[in-house]
Structure 1
């Protein structure tokens, strides 16, 4: 059974794209067939895999407005075992162009349904806003993974995101689940990081992944080289953490199926 995971948080700078890139690359490294969908107009997931944003002839934008099929938009084997549907700034106009379109909340779902059987995992990197693009991701997904930065305002906006997830579940996608929360940018030297983790655990009735992603220089450097961390520096703390998270995601699925 393929799994479609939306990586979402309407707060920017929480490690959402970093998680989408490196979790998907780690799943591919573990032998899974993975499709990554860059649904953010900034296109950082696209460039993070070494693809020049304006190079692909067809992107997620062309697919959403009906100018290209999903098959025409997929870039194959960007990393071994991993395909990508790229994005660029054109996507920022899609919201307006989709006004008045029938079933506009389901455009992505209908397209991805044609290819999802070919993959074990589909990961969608959502934009940092609760927009029509994010709603499309959530109607397509089976679950939502929320990266949370270990900082003072971590919980701010999270209740709004959970409200949106519940609303989509109620009205558009009854199968949608909260995959869980993953902590990012953890700094073991500060008490604050520890307090944030404890605070979220105490206040959130959600699955929280045991793996915590550390604040890591190599992790921050990797996107500028167009490589996921497991290729840029396979032995770094960041690479090890995302491998552990990938194993946990796979394990979580096994437990769900039991």
Structure 2
């Protein structure tokens, strides 16, 4: 669907406006920060903790990297497939960041959470009132809409107990039939809004190959303006 690409480009646009941003990657793939850092994948808190012995042996500068437009980046990471609980990484990471003052002097914190949430650990930013607004990146494909609907169910569960709300849907175009109409219809059914329809453009792939956001790679392009 392109959630990490969409979020990194949108956050780059926010940072251009002078906002101080922290990205917390909550996906075991650890690809939430690579376009900002121009890197393959950032070392995750879990892997660094394993090397150091425990999370207590880490310093904030070990896990936090600063990238494009001074955006601060952290990846929580996850265990190797088939071993352990991936959601624990998110819980461990957020606790570590709070204890070490990572949230000081920040305007926006973005938790990049994987869409097929099946495990309570991934829902921690929602459950524990860490996040205030949730934006679901989806496309007009059936399974993407199904996932968006499922995530909304999860948000509903926690909305009453905490202060978290669904901010809206962001449709990342896949050029399927009637995509805009379907996205708008889903938003209406969910009682939310379609925040933006991001058109498909090959410049996104060109920028990704160079591990850059579109805003850095082609700042004058139409696509960069869409993210702004």
Q: Which category describes the TM-score, using the shorter chain as reference length?
A: 0.7 to 0.9
Q: CA deviation at 1:107?
A: 4.1
TM-score by length of 1: 0.72
TM-score by length of 2: 0.80
1:206 and 2:206 correspond = no
- In the TM superposition, residue 238 of structure 1 has moved relative to its aligned partner by 2.2
Q: 81-90 vs 140-149, which deviates more?
A: 81-90
After superposition, the C-alpha distances for 1:90-113 in whole angstroms (9 at most, x for unaligned) are: 476562694xxxxx9854443343
Distance in 1 between residues matched to 2:26 and 2:49, nearest whole Å? 11
Q: CA shift at 1:144, angstroms?
A: 1.1
Q: Separation in 1 of the partners of 2:21 and 2:104?
A: 11
Matched, 1:193 2:147: no
1:38 is paired with a residue whose SS is strand
**For each residue in 1:170-211, what CA deviation from the matched residue of structure 2 results, as whole angstroms up to 9, or x when unmatched?**
45xx12121211111164xx65223313322432201331x3
1:79 aligns with 2:65: no
Residue 45 of structure 1 and its aligned partner are, at CA, apart by: 2.3
Cα distance between partner residues in 1 of 2:86 and 2:140? 35
**Residue deviations 1:1-55, cap 9 Å, x none?**
xxxxxxxxxxxxx22111221111111111111111122121222333312326x
**How many residues are matched?**
216
2:156 matched to which residue of 1? 166
User: Does the alignment pair 1:217 with 2:202?
Assistant: yes
The residue aligned with 1:180 is: 168
- Native 8 Å contact 2:132 2:163 kept in 1: yes
Q: Secondary structure at the match of 1:230?
A: helix
Q: Give 2:6's aligned residue.
A: 19
Unaligned runs of 5+ in 2: none
Q: 1:122 aligns with which of 109, 134, 139?
A: 109
For structure 1, the residue ranges without an aligned partner over 5 or more in a row are 1-13, 99-103, 244-258
In structure 2, what is the Cα distance between the partners aligned to 1:96 and 1:35? 21
- Verify: 1:60 aligned to 2:45, yes or no: yes
2:215 aligned with 1:230, yes or no? yes
